[in-house]
Amino acid sequence: MSAAVKPNMFNNLKAINERPKPFQYYTTEELWTNEHTSKKMLEYHLDEETDFSSRNAGFINRSVSWIIEKFNLNNKSNVLDFGCGPGLYTNRFAERGINVTGVDFSKRSIEYASQIASGKNLKVNYIHKNYLEYETQDRFDLITMIMCDFCALSPEQRGIMLNKFKKLLKPSGNVLLDVYSLKSYNRREEIAAYEFNHMNNFWSSEEYYCFINTFKYYDEKVALDKYTIIEKAHTRVIYNWLQYYSVETLRREFEDNGLEISELYSDVCGSHYDADSLEFAVAARQKS
């Protein structure tokens, strides 16, 4: 005789495996402001050997050098970095005498970036704020959004950011950002799995089970990694959305919001564009 299963367990499992509509739920604040996960995210950012949250130190050094040369940055240039994290790009720019503003949602990351800048006597304007809400009277020669942050935003949020770019750029200013390609999207697979203390207690210092569901939305070219974290005391769900692009769809999105893509690269180091790259980068400016 089989053991009886409580009805609510079925309902719980059904909810765990439920596929939401694209960008139906948005939990970025939970990821970046939670005391435990924000600490873990900072640790990943500062791991110079991996590309999990930030790219490795060698890549960042090459990237900064290329960006400075490409956009002719100097001590009269103003750069704005959206999603600056712990200052891996912004502090390097400041070391080269460039005027830099960094905006990030994570208080822990901003505090770390500010501490490093202060210790090196670097002048960086660090702002703890959701960049969707950031406003200023300043205008910039270059605006960056690196590590495919743009892809984590909903269509409405991306529209906000593109209009913000246009507003904050100087007439001759540029935007540099990178995105995930359709090649990367095609590599993704839908999964349903669970793991005890997933990613070495990334989600909590307490014991937990993490259910991981990856959903693909073929028409929208969107993928969702849904994490259901079940602890003894409570359950929470994190939604990590990613938009994937072809050059044509990204170009159309920019043009619909008053910007035009001027150049394509395989990465923010300026590598020659390759259609087989898992990511690609664009330089853009206001439409003439």
User: Per-residue pLDDT tens for 154-177?
Assistant: 999 999 999 999 999 999 999 999
d(CA 209, CA 229): 6
Contact 280, 247 (CB under 8 A): yes
Q: pLDDT band for position 70 (50/70/90)?
A: very high
Q: pLDDT band for position 48 (50/70/90)?
A: low
Cite the DSSP H helix spans in 151-246: 155-168, 182-187, 198-201
State the residue for tokens 């901003």.
Answer: 110
CA dihedral 252, 161, 154, 274 (to 10 degrees): 50
pTM: 0.92
pLDDT at residue 180 in the model = 98
Question: Residue 115 contacts by C-beta under 8 Å, 6 or more apart in sequence?
Answer: none
pLDDT at residue 49 in the model = 60
Checking if the pLDDT of 2 tops 60, the result is no
- Domain borders along the chain are 37-181+244-286
3-state SS string over 228-252? Answer: EEEECCCEEEEEEEEEEECHHHHHH
For the segment 111-118, the average pLDDT, to the nearest whole number, is: 96
* Half-sphere exposure at residue 65, Cβ-oriented, CA atoms within 13 angstroms: 7
Contact 73, 96 (CB under 8 A): yes
Among 27-41, 92-106, 117-131, 159-173, the least confident range: 27-41
pLDDT at residue 5 in the model = 52
CATH number assigned to the domain covering 37-181+244-286: 3.40.50.150
Residue from 40, 270, 248, 95 nearest 178 by CA:
270
For the segment 199-217, the average pLDDT, to the nearest whole number, is: 96
The percent of residues above 70 in pLDDT, for the chain, comes to 94
Q: pLDDT band for position 54 (50/70/90)?
A: low
Checking if the pLDDT of 1 tops 50, the result is no
Q: Tally Cβ neighbours within 10 Å of residue 67.
A: 24
Q: pLDDT band for position 41 (50/70/90)?
A: confident
Residue range 140-156, pLDDT digits in tens: 999 999 999 999 999 99
For the segment 127-138, the average pLDDT, to the nearest whole number, is: 96
pLDDT at residue 123 in the model = 95
Residue from 175, 127, 176, 177 nearest 149 by CA:
177
Helix (H, G, I), strand (E, B) or coil at 165: helix
d(CA 16, CA 21): 14
The percent of residues above 90 in pLDDT, for the chain, comes to 85
Specify the pairing of strand 124-128 against strand 99-104: parallel
pLDDT at residue 235 in the model = 94
Question: Residue 24 contacts by C-beta under 8 Å, 6 or more apart in sequence?
Answer: none
